[in-house]
Amino acid sequence: MLLGAIADDLTGATDLALTLSRGGMKVLQVVGVPSPDARFDDADAVVVSLKSRTIPAAEAVAMSVAAGKVLLAAGARQLFFKYCSTFDSTDEGNIGPVTDALLDLLGEARTIACPAFPTNKRTVYKGHLFVGDLLLSDSPMKDHPLTPMRDANLARVLGRQTKTPVVLLDHDQVRAGADALSRSLAAVDGIAIVDAVSDDDLRTIGAAVSGLRLITGGSGVALGLPEMFRQAGLFRPITPPVTLAAPPGRAAIIAGSCSAATRRQIEMAQAQGAPSLQVEATDIAEHRMTVDDAAAFIERSAGSLAPIVYSSADPQKIRLVQEQLGRSRAGELVEHFMGQLAQELTQRGFTRLIVAGGETSGAVIHSLGVTALEIGPEIDPGVPWTLSSGAGPQLALALKSGNFGADDFFLKAWERLQ
């Protein structure tokens, strides 16, 4: 194993696995902390997907360190801590505490932090994170129901979470090239926020981090890692898949994300005639909507366009629900509902599912008993089709971060399936 990665949510893990797969690496994605005797066969990279982004920091640290120990015991040369390209966290964590713990595990004093993903319009300049042309703090992420991001200065955000010094390696230092950037990194004592505004910057960073035992960032940072390993003669690239031989069966969409991108995708699918049913946390809490109700709607609506069950809503409506039920309970009700719905659908013969939202995807995978995912073809940047393995039936799953995907994602994704 060349790279052992730990991702703080399921869709982020899939995003990273796709990036490495596109670079020619043989990638295995596993769900949850692997057992100490886990076998990873001949995978070049193993990506462990956790559900640790919004849990208490101490729990996130324990899970991440446990995963890191398994990956190191299996021979990983480097560890990669993957988090969202919008740096989703609060002042209590979890990015800083997990980074500190992994540095301690490795006995290292330095790493990088770079959430940039220019293809999806996430860039870092002078240490500030941008979403498109907007500072992170001016983007829709400021209203995220669990991790509202109201400061775009990553050094400040991370500095409030970590015991490790935080410094900036700005765009001028990145543009100086991989060798110069590597020398700058060697002088760092702490965590270096690294600017990146293009894929070329990410490839430069990938070439410069060969001496680091820990890398942290979004999946974009992994763009340059396969080439680094190839040039070192450590692996022979394989051709990534362009289609997926999916199991026969019916298709459905489950959307729990409230991001602006997912809401646009729902609206476009509805405009094209896709049947849809909105589920609200208050209806679940008061038993006005049951899993059987939603499953029956999908079953009778299945046709040429996949039906959608969604809890997505605008931020103002979400705030009202959270005030009524409490933030944690509102989220837990919806996640549990969507997980149970996915389980019910598979029992009714649905084998092709798109799931929107990191927390929702985690709940679905847990309910289905999926333990590993084979990475298939890319639908949109950061989102592939996958094939499941585990106790239940084999499924074709597209697990989408709420912020990812073009507006027509729910319509075109099926074209990649055989």
For residue 143, what pLDDT is reported?
A: 84
CATH assignment at residue 264 = 3.40.980.20
The residues, any chain, with a CB within 8 Å of residue 293's CB and separated by 6 or more, are: none
Residue 415 has pLDDT above 80, yes or no: yes
49 and 185 belong to one structural domain: yes
Q: Mean pLDDT, to the nearest integer, of 316-321?
A: 84
Helix axes 327-347, 315-325, angle to 10 degrees: 100
38 and 122 belong to one structural domain: yes
Encode 263-297: b = buried (16+ Cβ within 10 Å), e = exposed: bbbbebbeeeebbbeebbbebbbeeebebeebbeb
Residue 134 has pLDDT above 80, yes or no: yes
Cβ neighbours of 14 (radius 10 Å): 29
Q: Mean pLDDT, to the nearest integer, of 319-329?
A: 84
Q: Mean pLDDT, to the nearest integer, of 141-169?
A: 93
Q: Which residue has the higher pLDDT, 39 or 67?
A: 67
For residue 69, what pLDDT is reported?
A: 97
Owner of token pair 């040369």: 77
**pTM, full prediction:** 0.85
224 and 332 belong to one structural domain: no
What's the pLDDT band for 258 if we cut at 50, 70, 90?
Answer: confident
Please report whether residue 123 resides in a domain: yes
Strand 383-390 and strand 370-380: pairing? Answer: antiparallel
The domain in which residue 186 lies consists of: 3-231
- Angstrom distance (rounded) from CA 90 to CA 55: 11
Among 196, 231, 266, the domain boundary falls at 231
- The backbone torsions φ and ψ at residue 85, rounded to the nearest 5 degrees and listed phi first, read -70, -5
What's the pLDDT band for 39 if we cut at 50, 70, 90?
Answer: confident
- Angstrom distance (rounded) from CA 263 to CA 412: 16
Among 231, 260, 292, the domain boundary falls at 231
84 and 222 belong to one structural domain: yes
Residue 145 has pLDDT above 80, yes or no: no
Please report whether residue 243 resides in a domain: no
Structure token digits, residue 347: 């029992």
Residue 262 has pLDDT above 90, yes or no: yes
What's the pLDDT band for 328 if we cut at 50, 70, 90?
Answer: confident
CA atoms within 13 A on the CB side of 261: 19
223 and 259 belong to one structural domain: no
**Element (H or E) spanning 295, and its range?**
helix 291-301
For residue 208, what pLDDT is reported?
A: 96
What's the pLDDT band for 319 if we cut at 50, 70, 90?
Answer: confident
Please report whether residue 244 resides in a domain: no
261 and 158 belong to one structural domain: no
293 and 185 belong to one structural domain: no
Residue 168 has pLDDT above 90, yes or no: yes
- Angstrom distance (rounded) from CA 280 to CA 394: 30
- Angstrom distance (rounded) from CA 49 to CA 4: 11
CA atoms within 13 A on the CB side of 265: 34
For the chain, give the percent of residues with pLDDT over 90: 81
205 and 261 belong to one structural domain: no
- Angstrom distance (rounded) from CA 330 to CA 332: 6
What's the pLDDT band for 392 if we cut at 50, 70, 90?
Answer: confident
Please report whether residue 238 resides in a domain: no
For residue 403, what pLDDT is reported?
A: 86
- Angstrom distance (rounded) from CA 342 to CA 340: 5
pLDDT per residue as tens digits for the range 345-369? 999 999 999 999 988 998 999 999 9
Among 177, 202, 231, the domain boundary falls at 231
Most confident of 40-54, 67-81, 380-394: 67-81
Q: Mean pLDDT, to the nearest integer, of 253-266?
A: 94
For residue 11, what pLDDT is reported?
A: 87
Residue 102 has pLDDT above 90, yes or no: yes
276 and 202 belong to one structural domain: no
Taking the chain, what is the end-to-end CA distance rounded to the nearest angstrom? 31
**Are 340 and 384 a contacting pair, CB within 8 Å?**
no
- Angstrom distance (rounded) from CA 381 to CA 376: 13
- Angstrom distance (rounded) from CA 119 to CA 47: 21
pLDDT per residue as tens digits for the range 205-219? 999 999 999 999 999
For residue 24, what pLDDT is reported?
A: 95
Residue 224 has pLDDT above 80, yes or no: yes
Question: For all residues of the chain together, what is the average pLDDT?
Answer: 94
Owner of token pair 């410069």: 208
CA triple 230-244-310, angle to 5 deg: 110
383 and 307 belong to one structural domain: yes
Please report whether residue 241 resides in a domain: no
For residue 182, what pLDDT is reported?
A: 96
For residue 417, what pLDDT is reported?
A: 94
- Angstrom distance (rounded) from CA 154 to CA 124: 9
Please report whether residue 239 resides in a domain: no
| Burial grade of 84 (CB within 10 A; 0-12, 13-18, 19 or more) | buried
Residue 166 has pLDDT above 90, yes or no: yes
14 and 151 belong to one structural domain: yes
Please report whether residue 237 resides in a domain: no
**Element (H or E) spanning 269, and its range?**
helix 260-271
**Element (H or E) spanning 65, and its range?**
helix 57-73
Q: Mean pLDDT, to the nearest integer, of 263-275?
A: 97
Distance of alpha carbon 119 from the chain centroid: 15
Structure token digits, residue 328: 């944690």
Owner of token pair 């985690």: 362
String of DSSP letters for 317-377: HHHHHHHHH-HHHHHHHHHHHHHHHHHHHHHTTEEEEEEESHHHHHHHHHHHTEEEEEEEE
Q: Which residue has the higher pLDDT, 390 or 193?
A: 193
For residue 312, what pLDDT is reported?
A: 86
Whole-Å CA distances, 104 to 61, 122, 155, 263: 11, 29, 20, 41
Whole-Å CA distances, 195 to 125, 155, 248, 407: 5, 11, 45, 28
For residue 246, what pLDDT is reported?
A: 92
Structure token digits, residue 376: 């298939």
Please report whether residue 71 resides in a domain: yes
278 and 385 belong to one structural domain: yes
CATH assignment at residue 192 = 3.40.50.10840
**Considering its fold, how many domains does the chain have in total?**
2
